[in-house]
Structure 1
Amino acid sequence: MNDESSQRYYASKQYLLPADNVETKRLDAQHDMITNVFEGRLSTAPTTLITGDRVLESAAGSGIWALEFFEKNCADGIILDIECIDISSAQFPTTHPPQIHFSVNSVVDLPNPEWSDTFAYAHQRLLVAAMNDSLWRSAVSELFRVIRPDGWVELVEIEAQDFSSWSVGPNSTKLASLINAMYGAKGVIGDLSVYLPAILKEAGFTDVKCDKRRASIGGEVDATPHKVTDVQGYNSGMWRELWMGMKGPVVEAGGYGIVETVQEYEALVESSTVEWKASKEAYTTFFAILAHKGEM
């Protein structure tokens, strides 16, 4: 199962999504949607940041969250020092304020001892497709080390276990089976709303909370309101691009016994898109998981 047209730039064998210009556009559109799902808030953490505080953004991608978070705080007279990290520099912006720093680093192995007890707040979004149990535990341990006493961590993730919420027809159900097979083979942890709070507490964090929000998928065939939520989520095209981005790992693994060719996978995603577009019931769930590092 091979096709040059399926090739995109992937920064890691572990991470199932690409790191290229197409993915940057998808992530930036998704950023706006997630912010909307959380009522326009870039953060739900109960932080009281002041000028000079250091903030960490893990899995920064294009840095869109950090850029907006910096500007929002600037508008309130607060000038932050923001460190943005990712495993690849491919999506980093070419221009940004001097108080925002971009570097190639992984959350599972942060600079030590330079960053220990340094950050007032750390934000990380959507690493579900990059992590297994061992990596999550390393990441949480590292976040605990680099957060200063009385600081906060916010991990924003998406439902990755129960795909029945967007399995709204035979094609999307088949695609969900394929994604489940791939996640199982890669050791992806599905129910992060239960898993992450548990390991955050094990690492020493306190005041662990999980804020769940539904986001609709598709349903744009006519003007009838979506049955699940009034909050605008993914349109069918945005949700399509997510799964098209995983074509590379699916192809490399041979289709997991569900598809046999690149064209068959593409056709499956396209047929699923038709189902999402017509459905008024498809949705996914986001989790904002907060954790506090108490005074030492």
Structure 2
Amino acid sequence: MREQPSFRYYASKQYLLPADNIETNRVNAQHNIVNNALNGRLHVAPTSLTTGDRVLESAAGSGIWALEFFEQNRADGIVLDIESIDISSAQFPCAHPPQIHFSVNSIVNLPNEWDNVFVFAHQRLLVLALNDCLWHSAVSELLRVIRPGGWVELVEIEARDFRSWSVGRNSTKLASLINGLYDETTVIGNLSVYLPEVLKNAGFVYVVCETKYVPIGGEEDDTPHQVTDIKGYSSELWREVWMGMEGPVMEVGKAVKTVEEYKALVQDSAT
């Protein structure tokens, strides 16, 4: 019998990463990496917000982006009304300003009453959650809920570009395994090419794709909002990304047969 993964909580079979305390710590560290890649910014869309504007955060996770975005604007005298949604409440913060509303909702099926209400919508790193059909549904829903003249910002990673994976001696083997998992789950990896066309075809105008490069290896940078020489994933954090996919890898079960075999492969690929 094939060995089953242990102790990690997955909110959905469609999403390849877990929703637990370990993942919360990882995405909070990753949040700073993304901000560094954006030169210390929480977003790049040229928004012009005023008090009372409604903002949507999709794939909220721990809510770290919404919390910082709210405080950043409040420091400038702008108090926003933010809807933060995720398919699971497992990572939602216990405490937050009353103007930030956390709810269990999916970007592919938003509440009907949200028609044309948001000035800005922000979504980060759903590459491992949406296939072609779901991406079209998500983009359609974003278009429905954003106000005319509003902005949508999608922050994603190239999931199939493994040129930068040469971190450890088994990186190529791990990349092959993960690509096989993507094929099984119909993950779309080349989002920088795919998404602009989907957005344009849905009716969005002024679609811009901005590319940033994030290094792998070295020390982890834990200084929020300061652009430093160390901007990328530490080996440990990079390893946590792939360890989080232990469940789906073992369920597909084509390249490795035991959890320990997979852990050893990841270890040798991230050091």
TM-score normalised by structure 2 residue count: 0.94
Aligned to 1:267: 264
Aligned to 2:223: none
8 Å CA contact 2:167–2:270 kept in 1: the answer is no
- Per-residue displacement from partner, 1:209-238 (whole Å, max 9, x unpaired)? 011110110145xxxxxxxx9551001000
Q: How far apart are residue 180 of structure 1 and its match?
A: 0.3
Aligned to 2:3: 2
Aligned to 2:127: 128
Q: Distance in 1 between matches of 2:54 and 2:168?
A: 47
Amino acid in structure 1 at the alignment position of 2:267: E
Q: How far apart are residue 64 of structure 1 and its match?
A: 0.2
Amino acid in structure 1 at the alignment position of 2:28: D
Q: Distance in 2 between matches of 1:100 and 1:51?
A: 13
Report the number of matched residues. 262
Q: Distance in 1 between matches of 2:145 and 2:68?
A: 23
Secondary structure, aligned partner of 1:248 = helix
Secondary structure, aligned partner of 1:155 = strand
Q: Does 1:35 align with 2:32?
A: no
Secondary structure, aligned partner of 1:123 = strand
Between structures 1 and 2, the one with greater strand share: 1
Q: Distance in 2 between matches of 1:191 and 1:238?
A: 23
Which stretches of structure 1, 4 residues or more, deviate above 2 A after TM superposition? Answer: 167-170
Q: Distance in 2 between matches of 1:35 and 1:170?
A: 29
Q: Does 1:160 align with 2:149?
A: no
Q: Distance in 1 between matches of 2:34 and 2:117?
A: 27
8 Å CA contact 1:218–1:236 kept in 2: the answer is yes
Q: Does 1:60 align with 2:60?
A: yes
8 Å CA contact 1:2–1:252 kept in 2: the answer is no
Question: What 5-or-longer segments of structure 1 have no aligned partner?
Answer: 221-228, 275-296
Q: Distance in 1 between matches of 2:127 and 2:243?
A: 17
Amino acid in structure 2 at the alignment position of 1:62: S
- Per-residue displacement from partner, 1:26-78 (whole Å, max 9, x unpaired)? 00000011101111100100110000000000000010000000000000000
Secondary structure, aligned partner of 1:264 = helix
Aligned to 1:292: none
Q: Where in structure 2 are the equivalents of 1:204-215 lying within 5 Å?
A: 204-215=203-214
Q: Distance in 2 between matches of 1:248 and 1:7?
A: 10
Amino acid in structure 2 at the alignment position of 1:191: N
Amino acid in structure 2 at the alignment position of 1:267: A
Q: Distance in 1 between matches of 2:130 and 2:51?
A: 33
8 Å CA contact 2:58–2:122 kept in 1: the answer is yes
Q: Where in structure 2 are the equivalents of 1:69-88 lying within 5 Å?
A: 69-88=69-88
Secondary structure, aligned partner of 2:35 = helix
- Call closer, same or farther: CA 1:42–1:53 in 2, change over 3 Å: same
Aligned to 2:98: 98
Q: How far apart are residue 162 of structure 1 and its match?
A: 1.6
Secondary structure, aligned partner of 1:135 = helix
Amino acid in structure 2 at the alignment position of 1:233: G
Q: Distance in 2 between matches of 1:21 and 1:261?
A: 24
Amino acid in structure 1 at the alignment position of 2:44: T
8 Å CA contact 1:197–1:208 kept in 2: the answer is yes
8 Å CA contact 1:167–1:176 kept in 2: the answer is no
Q: How far apart are residue 86 of structure 1 and its match?
A: 0.2
Question: What 5-or-longer segments of structure 2 have no aligned partner?
Answer: 220-227
Secondary structure, aligned partner of 1:206 = coil
TM-score normalised by structure 1 residue count: 0.86
Q: How far apart are residue 252 of structure 1 and its match?
A: 1.2
Q: Does 1:143 align with 2:142?
A: yes
CA RMSD of aligned residues (A): 1.3
- Call closer, same or farther: CA 1:239–1:168 in 2, change over 3 Å: closer
